[in-house]
Amino acid sequence: MAVRHVLVPGTPKQIWDVLSDPEAYASWVPGTHDTKAAQGDWPDQGAALRYLVRIGPWDLRGRTVVRISEPPSRLELEAFAGPLGSARIAIRIIEWGEEHSVVVVDEHPLRGVGAKLHTAPADALLHLRHRQMLARLAATVDERTEAQP
């Protein structure tokens, strides 16, 4: 299982504001482009986004569905990647003092080929992706915080 955490300068509410903005999804999820609402009101349970994922020279259509939404501390998603299957992505936000939060991402393949062929090297790649994803999330939160009067 790929679990990673980072200390983010921002309150749980500030982080949740980024996670709950469907327009911001591509700013913090690596490889994601052209995000569009597919159903429901993001990030309510059952809501979904559609997007394009670019991996090197390949484009893949993806869809992410909210499975659990507990503002401002817990968001669990199922990301569908066509023939590769789906993955569970659990995000926890833990208040850490007055101005910081610890964000924990736990991701693992859930269905399809990705789940059947899951290996330690695949987890290592997820850790690299999470490092980038959490850095981008922190940067997006920071940009929004600085932009507020």
Question: How far apart (Å, rounded) are the C-alpha atoms in residues 15 and 8?
Answer: 8
CATH number reported for the structural domain that contains residue 114 in this entry: 3.30.530.20
Residue 23 sits in which domain range?
2-147
- pTM above the 0.85 mark? yes
Condensed to tens digits (0 to 9), the pLDDT of residues 21-48 reads 998 998 999 888 888 889 999 999 999 9
Of the candidates 147, 139, 149, the one whose C-alpha atom is nearest the C-alpha of residue 27 is: 139
Confidence of residue 149 (pLDDT cuts 50, 70, 90): low
Condensed to tens digits (0 to 9), the pLDDT of residues 55-108 reads 778 888 889 999 999 999 999 999 998 778 899 999 999 999 999 999 999 988
Contact 105, 130 (CB under 8 A): yes
For β-strands 100-111 and 74-80, DSSP reports them as unpaired
| Count of structural domains, the chain | 1
DSSP 3-state assignment of 44?
coil
